[in-house]
Amino acid sequence: MKLSRDILAFQARLGHEFSSPELLIRALTHPSVSSPNRQDNQRLEFLGDRVLGLVMATALLEHDKHATEGQLAPRFNALVRKEACADVARQIDLGAVLKLGRSEMLSGGRRKQALLGDAMEAVIAAVYKDAGFEAAQNVILRLWGKRVGTVEDDARDPKTALQEFVQARRQPPPAYVLIARTGPDHEPVFTIAARLEDGTEEQATAGSKRLAEQAAAKALLAKLEQET
C-alpha cells in the first residue's frame, strides 16, 4: 500500500515505520467514514487502551520502586486517561490525518478531545500489531516522555479529591451547576460552578462539561485547602 505524503509525515512524527501500513490507515479511520470495505478504528482503540495501560503500569513501577498501590493508581489514571492521550495526539498532529465523515469534519472533529484520544489508542494498537509489544512500548515511552516522571503524586480526579475533602469534614458533597453555555453547537463552551452547601464556590470554563467541572473542583479544593 502506498501512503500519501501527509501520512508518511505523520508516520515520521510517530516514530514508527509500518511494515503493514494498512494498520495505520485503519487506526486513523473514524467510524463516521467506515464502510463494508473500510474498517474503522474502534477495535484497535480497545486493544490500544490495554497496551497503553500495561506500558504505563510497568513504567510507573520501574520509576518509583517504593510507591504504594494507593500512590500508583492515581498516577496511572492521569497518564492513560483520554485527556492525556489527546494531548499526545496533538503533540504529533494526529488530527491532521484523521479520516472523518463530512459531519465530523464540519463539527470540528479534528480538534475534539474524544476523537483524538480514541485515535491515539488505535495508533498504539496498530504499532503493537505491526511490530510487537516492544515497538509499541518504545513509541509510547518516547511520546509520553517526561510525563511518567513528573505526574503529580496525587493525580486523583479533582472531583474525587474535592468530594473526599468535604466528606472528611462531614459536609455534603459539592454540587456542579451549569452557569452558562456559549459558542456554536459544534464547539460549545461551558461555565460550571462547583458549589458547597454553605454557598462557597469556584467557577471554571472549558470546552466540555466534564473538563469544566474538573477545573472548578480543582479551584474550589485549592481554595478550601488554603483556608484550612
What amino acid positions are annotated as catalytic residues?
49, 121
What secondary structure does DSSP assign to 26-83, as a single string?
HHTB-GGG-BTTB--SHHHHHHHHHHHHHHHHHHHHHH-TT--HHHHHHHHHHHHSHH
CA–CA dist 142, 134 (Å, integer): 12
* Residues 126, 129, 134: CA angle, nearest 5 degrees: 100
Q: Grid coordinates standing for 150?
A: 513528573
Residue of 22, 39, 24 lying closest to 97 (CA atoms): 24
- Amino acid of residue 72: L
Indicate the DSSP class of residue 188: -
Whether the Cβ atoms of residue 97 and residue 10 lie closer than 8 Å to each other: yes
Whether the Cβ atoms of residue 66 and residue 53 lie closer than 8 Å to each other: no
Residues 104-119 as b or e (16 or more Cβ within 10 Å = b): beebebbebbebbbbb
CA–CA dist 221, 149 (Å, integer): 24
